[in-house]
Structure 1
Amino acid sequence: MSEMIDENAGGRVVVVGAGPTGLLLAGDLAEAGVPVTLVERRHAGRSNLSRALVVHATTLEAFDARGIADDLIAKGAPVQALRLFDTAVVDVSELPTPYPYLLVVPQYETEAVLQARLDRLGVVTRHETEVVGLRQDADGVALTVRDADGTREERAAYVVGTDGHDSSIRRLLGVEFPGHTVVASVMLVDAVLADPPSLRIATNTDGDKFAFVAPFKDGYHRIIAWDQSHPKAESEPVDLDEVRAVLHATLGTDFGMGEPRWSSRFHSDERQAEHYRAGRVFLAGDAAHTHSPAGGQGMNTGLLDAANLSWKLAAVLRGRAGDALLDTYESERYPVGTAVIKGSGRLLRAAQIKATPARKLRNLAMHFALQRPLVNRRIGFALSGLWVRYAAPAGAHELTGHRAGDVPLTGSPSRLFEALRGGGFVLLAPTELHEPAAEAGVRTAVPADGGPVRLIRPDGYIAWAADTPGAEEVALAIRASGA
């Protein structure tokens, strides 16, 4: 556990929005010793909101580094392959990660695991609390907060808006959120299927109609469906006959779909905030970017936004780094958000091809392309987030900015993700180079792979690397990184 920061000295962070992104961010800050307040306009209690249903490999790696991956995996159904466009199959079982699969799990279960971590850390969420005003100066942020006790002003060193696509924080900042609706009247249904698909995830489209079917661990299946030739208002209840018709048209069967335990209708936008940072206020998750449900990227991208920002806020508040470090949150995560919007958009537009000859050509091309291991791997990397690399300074080692992966270690802990637990940097180096790290309070480990010396950021990316550095070079790298 890092040293505690004095809240009375202006070190508090307010996180607005207790969805997955806000829960992870608040937990990281608390674990780093940063006083954090989490506010949520919804009432307390388990939400039945369940739009997000896939947790990808990089997110599971982030959960592993926090000691909560096993808790989530126990609630989900691992799926190693999905059928895409008729007979094309994406296989993620060979991805270079401890988690070579998609974990299908309702969003509320992901939130429950993150909430349990917050409970262990003693963070209390203030529900039914809304931020209705915001102004900032050189020393902090003044928030006007409204709850059951009335309206009052509170101050914080920094504020992070993780309050969804209709973000009040983004609106109060005046940050534009350009984009447009790409799919209207998307139907979500959780139901038992009497005859589920043989390949656990199935998806297909005929242009106007689209269907996606995936299993939960408890025997229910999530169905995502739309029919753009007959869109309905979001206020309209989901018509099960309409869902069955879409399933028959795209997948040839309704799989014996029973009565749902939950259903919803929504629309999907492609939007990205013009900036992720405005002074002492940040945007993350759906408050910063939204896109089509294709690829299941939304919640995962937001969670990794939080993992990127949390350690940087802690480093600045602890006096380990200057304000410029906080600018790297936007410079690193904005391009990721842009790429996810473009990638999911391309997949969506491929699904919306209407002409029958063009659809048949798409299906045939995808079928044969995905039989090539290199193509399958590239699509798996795109879905899982394993492709993300952050820019490195000129002249830096080629590993700088890359995801570190779960490096095997000598002794105990035996792997990097375990060494990262509790937050903080980890230096992977021979024992003779450990002294500069120990003096700076940075954890050390000896890599079993014998590779270059690497300084690993709390979010699992390589902050600095060198092949044969001396102790002084290691000490300089630690100071420069904000560790």
Structure 2
Amino acid sequence: MDAAVIVVGAGPAGMMLAGELRLAGVDVIVLERLAARTGESRGLGFTARTMEVFDQRGLLSRFGDIETSNVGHFGGLPVDFGVLEGAHQAAKTVPQSATETVLEEWATRLGADIRRRHEVLSVTGKEDSVEVEVRGPGGVQTLRSEYLVGCDGGRSTVRKAAGFAFPGTPATMEMFLADVKGITLEPRMIGETLPGGMVMVGPLPGGITRLIVCERGTPPQRREKPPTWEEVAAAWQRLTGDDISHAEPVWISAFGDATRQATEYRRGRVFLAGDAAHIHLPAGGQGMNTSIQDAVNLGWKLGAVVQGRAPERLLDTYQAERHPVGKRLLMNTQAQGLLFLSGAEMQPLRDVVSELIAYPEVSRHFAAMVSGLEIRYDIDGGSHPLLGRRMPDVPLAGHKLIGRTTEALRAARGVLFDLADNAELRRRAAPWRDRIDLITARPSGPAADDRLAGAAAVLVRPDGYVAWAAPGSHGDLPMALERWFGPVI
């Protein structure tokens, strides 16, 4: 084998997955067609759930000062994200180019082998391996790995070569996204519709202004290169009457409203993650965030199976857990598109939804949906409120090294939190000490016990989700440990 796992695509999903695999002790090669990072900002900021993901790996500080906000929207209609409980607000001003830089540096320091100017030509699945034909600087070669993961975007070569079905709806319109400088425009919120379409204006750091231009009735094009600034400025003038042609574009791209999802995220030894598995209208900055979370869900599972610590059936939970998340993502972005891309005929519905958002429960529902905080995996094991949800970030007392629950997840290992100093519990978990950490501490702070729903012990997976909690889980602790971390040999 050239590597245990080959990842195709060096975007946020691919880099996050490479880092997770290295934390699991797995050798990984990342193949990227481009010679260097594009520097394009595209996805902007992180949802609250992705902030939690980066926090649990100790990555947040690498982004420097992050501007956060509780202001959000659903389909262009304002939503107060402050109604959600949690340690993090959403980050608003981190460009995707910075995210890619941080994740690539992290994965590289962990030992990932990143090979740029390597284009995948074909994929051949074998019973015990995957062969990838690659054209690189030295010519065409065949690489072999135990598993292959396609993180290579909406036009994924891996998805096509491995025969994944990708049903959905094609794009019906084309929109422009441009970051420009040398111009001052009044901010325009997404959702402020005009007779011919929709435009958005948002300030970014460094004197950059982000523009989105959607002109209704423009047929989608299959472009091989970005649109010109002249096209963007002309569309802006048709919609607003203003001439912005004198602005200097930093970068420009075009996108559509195509909505597709792979019917399966795994075919044998080949997996899909990120945009390779699901594409949708950019709405609320969810695409990159969902892609990163795909990678975190898959990484520890693939690492455990490759290392022989867990049975291969663990990999089936990737499809079971992440496919519903992707399906719901497509549903909510389609709904948002109807709200902010349609014409005056949609105004009555916008008014009704605005009235509903004024109710705190509805606002909480929309905010949780867009931020990813609503995710609860279907983990069969009982009725405890934490089961299948992310472990809350709670202060701890009584431990010499760990002061917060999130800090215990830095190494991407399973964690058993013994919150009641139960020696018998620790004895029963001891056979799994090679793959989980035991943390004996007590919750501190006025709301800590409430956030933990009275749990005396919590078993947390490496991705931060709760696999077992007591009291309230069916079955005993060893059963849960064996299911998620493999049998003791």
Q: Give the counterpart letter for 1:459 in structure 2.
A: D
Question: What TM-score do you get using the length of structure 1 for normalisation?
Answer: 0.88
Q: How does 1:200-349 map to 2 (within 5 A)?
A: 202-206=190-194, 208-231=196-219, 233=221, 234=223, 236-238=227-229, 239-245=231-237, 248=240, 258-349=247-338
Q: Give the counterpart letter for 2:471 in structure 1.
A: D
CA contact (8 A) 1:207 1:351 kept: no
Work out whether 1:387 is the aligned partner of 2:387.
Answer: no
Q: Secondary structure at the match of 2:264?
A: coil
In the other structure, the counterpart of 1:40 is 32
Q: Secondary structure at the match of 1:34?
A: coil
Q: Give the counterpart letter for 2:332 in structure 1.
A: G
1: CA distance, partners of 2:57 / 2:142:
33
Shift of 1:95: 1.9
CA contact (8 A) 2:83 2:363 kept: no
**1:21 corresponds to which of 7, 10, 13:** 13
Work out whether 1:156 is the aligned partner of 2:145.
Answer: yes
Q: Give the counterpart letter for 2:52 in structure 1.
A: E
Q: How does 1:72-471 map to 2 (within 5 A)?
A: 72=63, 74=65, 76-82=66-72, 88-192=77-181, 194-197=184-187, 202-206=190-194, 208-231=196-219, 233=221, 234=223, 236-238=227-229, 239-245=231-237, 248=240, 258-354=247-343, 356=344, 358-393=345-380, 395=382, 397-410=384-397, 411=399, 412-429=401-418, 430-431=420-421, 432=423, 433-441=425-433, 442-445=436-439, 446-448=441-443, 449-450=448-449, 451-452=454-455, 453-467=457-471
Q: Percent identity?
A: 36
Q: Secondary structure at the match of 1:42?
A: coil
Shift of 1:52: 1.4
Could you say what the CA RMSD is over the residues aligned between the two structures, in angstroms?
2.7
Any unmatched runs of 5+ in structure 1?
Answer: 1-7
CA contact (8 A) 1:369 1:375 kept: yes
2: CA distance, partners of 1:435 / 1:215:
56
Q: Give the counterpart letter for 1:404 in structure 2.
A: M
2: CA distance, partners of 1:126 / 1:246:
44
Residues 214 and 203 of structure 1, relative CA distance in 2, 3 Å threshold = farther
Alpha-carbon displacement from aligned partner over 1:325-350 (angstroms, at most 9, x marks no partner):
10110111111111100110011012
CA contact (8 A) 1:206 1:352 kept: no
Work out whether 1:475 is the aligned partner of 2:478.
Answer: yes
Alpha-carbon displacement from aligned partner over 1:334-381 (angstroms, at most 9, x marks no partner):
111111001100110122332x3x444234324333222222211111
Q: Secondary structure at the match of 2:26?
A: coil
Shift of 1:247: 6.7
Q: Give the counterpart letter for 1:139 in structure 2.
A: D
Question: What TM-score do you get using the length of structure 2 for normalisation?
Answer: 0.87
2: CA distance, partners of 1:392 / 1:299:
25
Residues 140 and 241 of structure 1, relative CA distance in 2, 3 Å threshold = closer
Q: How does 1:50-61 map to 2 (within 5 A)?
A: 50-61=41-52
2: CA distance, partners of 1:36 / 1:96:
37
CA contact (8 A) 2:194 2:239 kept: no
Shift of 1:232: 7.0
Residues 196 and 417 of structure 1, relative CA distance in 2, 3 Å threshold = farther
Bigger CA drift: 107-116 or 387-396?
Answer: 387-396
CA contact (8 A) 2:75 2:336 kept: no
Shift of 1:104: 2.9
CA contact (8 A) 2:384 2:472 kept: no
Q: Secondary structure at the match of 1:93?
A: helix
Alpha-carbon displacement from aligned partner over 1:161-208 (angstroms, at most 9, x marks no partner):
1011111111111112122233532111112452543x9x55422475
Q: Secondary structure at the match of 1:138?
A: coil
Bigger CA drift: 377-386 or 237-246?
Answer: 237-246
Q: Give the counterpart letter for 2:42 in structure 1.
A: R
